Structure 1
């Protein structure tokens, strides 16, 4: 089994203006195809992510997966 690096931080929500995920900076298409990309393709995308994240609005418009998990833990679910 191969360990595939991922920039995902469980903040899975797409900024409508930029099309980038608030958490990782990838597009929907990149997220969907991540496992089928080559290591070089993933590295190229990961190198662009810091620049992309500067363009997204900093607050998601809905509850993120990470926030939902944290809330459920606090509520004891």
Structure 2
């Protein structure tokens, strides 16, 4: 699975998610080594996270 990285690494202080892709630091660091099912689980969660960040 392709990485959701957009190379904008600004973090939201309240959630710990990156504002551009919605992942946590640990999720970003481990993306390449993660199993496909782990990547899919993370990717499925990202739209909800990004929507939540946008509503504040």
Query: If the TM-score is normalised by the length of the shorter chain, which range does it land in?
Result: 0.7 to 0.9
RMSD: 1.6
1:26 pairs, out of 17, 23, 27, with 23
Q: Could you say what secondary structure the match of 2:43 adopts?
A: helix
Structure of greater relative contact order (alpha carbons < 8 Å, 6+ residues apart)? 1
Larger radius of gyration: 1
Give the TM-score taking structure 2 as reference length: 0.86
Give yes or no for the alignment of 1:48 onto 2:45.
yes
Q: Which runs of 5+ in 1 are unaligned?
A: 59-77
Q: Which runs of 5+ in 2 are unaligned?
A: none
User: How far does the alpha carbon of each residue in 1:6-61 deviate from its partner, in whole angstroms, 9 at most, with x for none?
Assistant: 00111111100111001100001100111110011001100100000122258xxx
